């Protein structure tokens, strides 16, 4: 079979990415520019700055990705066949930069545009490790803006079974970190401090079991219905605030990072456990920036056990990237689900 080359473009939030993929999983090039330093000063993403930065970087990244194929001299076999681009959800100005770039590529190379839902792309990032999804699969997405649980029945057949009730997973970690005086984004700092704390305690002979009993933050409500897979983290965050206020320095920063992370993981693992029981999923695919957390990964793996195959992309592909966009785009392209160049150019951009 002839190899299929495809491009992916990601610009929905604060990461600009262009990726070149072969056969939907083999990454040939995936230059990525993170705007994190640009937004750090403001403690969050500033939409106008984000779209301007995308505009500045995207031509350079596109050039870098395409140069892999030496496109000008390329023979037909090396021609790219599709360009996949995130069209939702995201910051409108940022999405437009990516989408217009995809249109230009589509026009210049006479190839179709495959519109991609960013969150669906996260679920298919495991394809980059050579895995394909086996349905029904459970999808767990924990990022700065989302905490979602999906029952995945097929391509575009995705039911949301658990959603964000208040603060999203990463948002809760970032806000907790802020309370502890840690820099943005706080998730990785909480993980680091928690790790230091648990190791120190182990050296002193204190077991994790004992630490769990000593956790001053409240446990998730026992009377939560079993059919409920939503995520709520804001109560936990408020509890942290009060412990900080009232405990008069009894707990170190490291200890509180550990206790917060533990409760956070309990909520997440509980939802996955109950959903697995209800839906009998064959796989659990997890992604989003928060899945970079090693303790969360191993706790999920323990809970899922032999019941299902647990798949998480490499850390780099847990966060926003264009390779996952190109990977999902490949699936749609192979199923003939794309917009021919002409239709896109005639102004039907967001109506697929």
Residues forming contacts to ligand KG4 in the complex (CB under 6 A) are 13, 143-145, 170, 173-174, 185-188, 191, 288-290, 292-293, 319-320
Cα 38 to Cα 249: distance, rounded to the nearest angstrom: 34
Cα 190 to Cα 183: distance, rounded to the nearest angstrom: 10
Cα 183 to Cα 75: distance, rounded to the nearest angstrom: 49
Provide the minimum distance between the beta carbon of 275 and ligand KG4 in the complex, in angstroms, as a whole number: 21
Work out the number of other CB atoms within 10 angstroms of the CB of residue 154: 10
Nearest CB to ligand KG4, comparing residues 191 and 262: 191
Nearest CB to ligand KG4, comparing residues 65 and 290: 290
Provide the minimum distance between the beta carbon of 184 and ligand KG4 in the complex, in angstroms, as a whole number: 8
Provide the minimum distance between the beta carbon of 170 and ligand KG4 in the complex, in angstroms, as a whole number: 2
Nearest CB to ligand KG4, comparing residues 262 and 320: 320
Cα 90 to Cα 92: distance, rounded to the nearest angstrom: 6
Nearest CB to ligand KG4, comparing residues 192 and 335: 192
Closest by CA to 182, choosing from 240, 248, 267, is: 240
Nearest CB to ligand KG4, comparing residues 10 and 174: 174
Sheet hosting strand 309-311, strand order edge to edge: 157-162, 147-154, 137-142, 283-287, 309-311
Provide the minimum distance between the beta carbon of 284 and ligand KG4 in the complex, in angstroms, as a whole number: 18
Nearest CB to ligand KG4, comparing residues 224 and 303: 303
Provide the minimum distance between the beta carbon of 210 and ligand KG4 in the complex, in angstroms, as a whole number: 24
Provide the minimum distance between the beta carbon of 197 and ligand KG4 in the complex, in angstroms, as a whole number: 15
**Would you state the torsion angle of the CA atoms of residues 216, 222, 223, 227, taken in this order, to the nearest 10 degrees?**
120
Answer for the pair 94, 56: CB distance below 8 angstroms, yes or no: no
Q: Dihedral of CA 181/183/187/193: which sign? A: negative
Provide the minimum distance between the beta carbon of 161 and ligand KG4 in the complex, in angstroms, as a whole number: 20
Cα 198 to Cα 205: distance, rounded to the nearest angstrom: 10
In the numeric block, the tokens 């604060």 are attached to: 14
Nearest CB to ligand KG4, comparing residues 5 and 317: 317
């Amino acid at each position: 079979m002839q190899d299929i080359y495809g491009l992916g473009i990601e610009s929905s939030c604060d990461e600009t990415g262009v990726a070149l993929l072969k056969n939907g999983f083999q990454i040939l090039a995936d230059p990525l520019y993170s705007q994190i330093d640009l937004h750090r000063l403001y403690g969050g993403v500033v939409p106008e700055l984000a779209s301007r930065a995308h505009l500045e970087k995207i031509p350079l990244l596109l050039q870098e990705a395409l140069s892999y194929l030496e496109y000008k001299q390329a023979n037909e076999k090396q021609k790219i066949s599709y360009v996949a681009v995130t069209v939702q959800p995201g910051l409108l100005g940022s999405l437009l930069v990516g989408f217009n770039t995809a249109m230009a590529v589509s026009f210049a190379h006479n190839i179709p545009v495959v519109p991609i839902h960013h969150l669906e792309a996260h679920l298919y990032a495991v394809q980059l490790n050579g895995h394909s999804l086996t349905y029904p699969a459970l999808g767990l997405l924990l990022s700065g803006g989302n905490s979602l649980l999906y029952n995945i029945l097929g391509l575009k057949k995705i039911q949301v079974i658990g959603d964000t009730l208040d603060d999203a997973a990463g948002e809760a970690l970032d806000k907790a970190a802020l309370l502890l005086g840690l820099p943005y984004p706080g998730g990785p700092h909480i993980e680091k401090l928690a790790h230091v704390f648990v190791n120190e305690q182990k050296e002193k002979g204190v077991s994790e079991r004992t630490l769990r009993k000593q956790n001053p933050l409240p446990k998730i409500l026992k009377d939560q219905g079993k059919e409920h897979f939503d995520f709520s983290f804001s109560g936990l965050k408020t509890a942290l605030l009060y412990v900080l206020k009232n405990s008069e320095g009894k707990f170190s920063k490291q200890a509180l990072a550990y206790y917060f992370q533990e409760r956070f993981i309990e909520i997440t693992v509980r939802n996955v456990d109950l959903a697995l029981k209800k839906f009998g999923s064959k796989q659990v695919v997890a992604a989003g920036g928060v899945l970079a957390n090693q303790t969360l990964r191993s706790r999920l793996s323990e809970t899922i056990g032999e019941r299902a195959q647990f798949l998480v992309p490499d850390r780099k592909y847990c966060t926003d990237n264009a390779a996952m966009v190109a990977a999902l785009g490949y699936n749609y392209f192979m199923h003939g689900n794309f917009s021919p160049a002409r239709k896109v150019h005639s102004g039907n951009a967001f109506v697929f």
